[in-house]
Amino acid sequence: MKKLLLYVFGIIFFCFLIPAVFTTKFSINQNGIENVEVSVVENEIPAEIIEYDYNEYSKINLLHKDTGNVEEVDLDQYLLGVVAAEMPADYEIEALKAQAMVARSYTLYKITKSKPHQEADICDSHLCCQAWISKEKRFERWDIGKREENWAKIVRAVSETGGKIITYNGEVIDAFFHANSGGVTEVPVNVWGGTNFPYLQAVATSGEDAYTQYSSNLELSKDDVISKIKETHGNIEIDWSNSECIKVIEYTESGRIKTIQFGNVNLSGVEARTIFSLKSANFKVTIGENVQFEVTGYGHGVGMSQTGANTLAKERKNM
C-alpha cells in the first residue's frame, strides 16, 4: 500500500490504522499527562478495508445469555441489533457506518480466530462479546416519534457497509471499540494482558466530541474505600495520616494508571476501576475529609472511540 496519512481518508483508518503510522510521546508527572506529542513515522501499513465472501458467513449462531438459547440469524440482521445497542442512533450516519464495520470485523474475528463459545459463534453480552438488542426492545426505549427514523439510520449504516471488514496483513482484525478515549487510546495489553496488536496502539484523539461529557467524579468515605478493597484484598491497611497513602506507581503509555498503591496494597488501574466502579482507568485521586476520584473518558480505551468517530463524521470525514 502507498504511504498515506490515512486520517484524511476515513473514520476507520483514523481509529484503527493511524496507530501504525503515528508515535506518541508523553510527559507525565504524578497528576497525569502534561503534554502529548504525536509525530508521523514513515512506514508501510499492511491494513485495508475489504469485502469478504458473504456465502461463508451469511448466517451466525447467536447465544442469548439471559436464556441460554442459540438462534440462527442473518449476519447483517444481527449487526442491526449490535449497532442499535452499542451506539446512540442520533450519532452521525458516518459514525454509525464506522460502528457497523467495526462490529462486523469483530464478529468475523470471533468466529474465525477467537471462538469464545462452543455452542455458538457469538453472544449478546457486552461483558463477553458485543451488546445486542432486538428491534422490539430497542423501540421500547426510543421516543415514539424517533423510532422509525432511528431504525432507518441503523439499517442504512449496516447496508451501506455490507460485506466490508477491516484487515491487517490480510487477516480480519480484532476490532475493539469504546465510548470515549478521554483524549488518548490505550493498548490492549494494559487492559487484558496478553499480546499487543500493531493496529491497536496509544494515539492522541484530539478534538474528540463530548470530551467533557465523559468527565466524572466519585466521592467515597475513607471507610468505604477500605471496605471495597477488602472484598478482594482482605489484608488492606491504609494510614490516612500519611500524605502518600494513595500513590500512583506507574502510568501506561496512554497516561492511564497502570499501578496504584492503596496503603499496603498495589492495584492495577484496571482492577481499581473495577473495585470502585469508575468509568475508566484514567483517574486522579485526591484525599481530604473523603476520597475524591476524578475520572476522564469512558470505557477501556482500546480501538475505536465512538465519540471520536462521531467528531470525524461531523468534520465530514466519511467511509
pLDDT digits (tens, 9 = 90+) for 107-142: 999 998 888 898 899 999 998 999 999 999 999 999
As given in the structure block, the three cell numbers for residue 95 are 459514525
Distance, CA of 170 to CA of 249 (rounded, Å): 39
pLDDT at position 203 = 86
Of 181 and 20, the structure prediction assigns the larger pLDDT to 181
| pTM score | 0.83
pLDDT tens figures, 217-270: 999 999 999 999 999 999 999 999 999 999 999 999 999 999 999 999 999 999
Per-residue 3-state assignment (H helix, E strand, C coil) for 57-118: CCEEEEECCCCCCEEEEEHHHHHHHHHHHHCCCCCCHHHHHHHHHHHHHHHHHHHHHHCCCC
The per-residue pLDDT for range 158-195, each reduced to its tens digit, is: 999 998 999 998 899 999 999 999 989 999 999 998 87
Asked whether 142 and 152 are in contact (CB, 8 A), the reply is no
Cα 98 from chain centroid?
Answer: 13
Q: Reduce the DSSP state of residue 51 to 3 states and report it.
A: strand
- Residue 63 zone, left/alpha/beta (φ > 0; ψ -120 to 50; rest): beta
pLDDT for residue 9: 38
119 CB burial (10 A radius; 0-12, 13-18, 19+): exposed
Domain ranges for the chain, please list them: 48-210+301-314, 212-296
Q: What is the pLDDT of residue 24?
A: 37
From the list 124, 127, 88, 95, the residue with the least C-alpha distance to 107 is 124
Q: Which range, of 102-116, 193-207, 285-299, averages the lowest pLDDT?
A: 193-207
Which of 52, 34, 8 is closest to 251 using CA atoms?
34
State how far Cα 271 lies from the chain centre.
Answer: 17
- Measure CA 95 to chain center: 14
pLDDT tens, residue by residue, 33-72: 344 343 333 344 566 777 776 567 789 999 999 999 999 9
Taking Cα atoms as reference points, which of 46, 191, 36, 61 lies closest to residue 121? Answer: 61
**Rounded CA gap, 23 and 201, in Å?**
9
